[in-house]
Amino acid sequence: MSDVLGYQGKRVIVSGCFSGMGEATARLLVSLGAEVHGFDSKESTVPMSTFTQIDLRDPATIEAAVAGVGGKVDALFNCAGLPGGGGFLPMDTMKVNFLGTRHLTEQIIPLMGSKGAIVSIASTGGLGWSRRIPIHMQLLATQGFQAGLEWAEANPDHVAEGYAFSKEAVIVWTQFMGARLIKEGIRINCSLPSPTQTPMMATFHATSGKDVVDAAAEPLGRYTTAQEQAGPLVLINSDLAGVVNGVVLPVDGGFMGGLATGQVDISRMMSAPKQQA
Ligand SMILES: NC(=O)c1ccc[n+]([C@@H]2O[C@H](COP(=O)([O-])OP(=O)(O)OC[C@H]3O[C@@H](n4cnc5c(N)ncnc54)[C@H](O)[C@@H]3O)[C@@H](O)[C@H]2O)c1
């Protein structure tokens, strides 16, 4: 197979490779000839080079997993995540979606050398990011997992149920780090999926209501698949996207464009959302 995306022999790490978008991403990368190292709290069946069990709520497990992979890392795919509510503690959601994801990324960056690519999955649930950039800058100013956790614990009103705030943090952090890491030749981007049929969807339906989630699936008129989300992640971390950096990429069948031009009825979403996919 021709290697137009340049993944043959590349060493890549995928968090969240057990299910959903992370699993689909890991499978696609294996099929493209990458040397894939998967991290998840649940054991994955994807035929990767290595799998390491980690808990993104526990920085020691992250550090041990990265040390186990060692060597040069070409690309990182931050796909692991937890929803908010539905039995998940806000601080666990905050740890997995932002603090642990940031910690993992900070462990990987020194292994990337002068070229590398990082992508994280954020969410349309984080679209409120621009309303509270100064708050997020306080969080970003914290150094390391523990300091970030202490900030989050001191700011429960902002963290709330955990999902929206953690996804906003991923979006602001991606843009902030994009302007810094590019000086070292490293790119960082994130995606904003519209509702996607994965195991997480059951919690979104239970916490936000199916109507609210369905409204975010317009104008496409259906939920996307994990594979449809994996493709753009693999593309944006590929050599073909060599100067795409600090970007918040909607992967939503036109939701954001429809919203911006008044063609998506957001009143259906305004009635509820503590959280939306
Ligand atoms: N499904 C959607 O509609 C949707 C929409 C927007 C954004 N997202 C985001 O997409 C990402 C992928 O979610 P998904 O929809 O594929 O759901 P999913 O539940 O299938 O995948 C989440 C993965 O994260 C792993 N994980 C959870 N807690 C962990 C921990 N403590 N340590 C390590 N790994 C852990 C899970 O085991 C699982 O493999 C998440 O960040 C999610 O917030 C999902």
Q: Is residue 275 part of a domain?
A: no
Tokens of 134: 């100064």
Q: Is residue 117 part of a domain?
A: yes
Q: Is residue 2 part of a domain?
A: no
Residue-range definition of the domain harbouring residue 222 = 11-270
- The CB of 76 under 6 Å from ligand 1? The reply is no
Would you place residue 271 in the very low, low, confident or very high pLDDT band (cuts 50, 70, 90)? Answer: low
Q: What is the pTM of this model?
A: 0.97
Q: Is residue 109 part of a domain?
A: yes
User: Tell me, what CATH number does 262's domain have?
Assistant: 3.40.50.720
Q: What is the dihedral of CA 257, 237, 22, 213, to 10 degrees?
A: -10
What are the pLDDT digits (tens) for 129-142?
A: 999 999 999 999 99
- The CB of 16 under 6 Å from ligand 1? The reply is yes
What are the pLDDT digits (tens) for 71-115?
A: 999 999 999 999 998 899 999 999 999 999 999 999 999 999 899
Of ligand 1's atoms, which has the minimum distance to the CA of residue 15? 34
The residue contributing the CA closest to ligand 1 atom 10 is 121
Q: Is residue 21 part of a domain?
A: yes
Percent of the residues in the chain that have a pLDDT greater than 70, as a whole number = 97
- Coil, helix or strand for 248? strand
The residue contributing the CA closest to ligand 1 atom 26 is 80
- The CB of 19 under 6 Å from ligand 1? The reply is yes
Measured CA to CA, the distance from residue 36 to residue 119 in angstroms comes to 15
What is the 8-class DSSP label of residue 99? I
| Number of domains observed in the structure of the chain | 1
Q: Helix %, strand %, coil % for the chain, to 5? A: 50, 15, 35
What is the 8-class DSSP label of residue 80? -
- The CB of 93 under 6 Å from ligand 1? The reply is no
Which of 13, 21, 54, 76 for a ligand 1 pocket mutation test, highest count of atoms within 8 Å of Cβ? 21
Q: Is residue 194 part of a domain?
A: yes
- The CB of 277 under 6 Å from ligand 1? The reply is yes
Mean pLDDT rounded to a whole number for the chain = 95
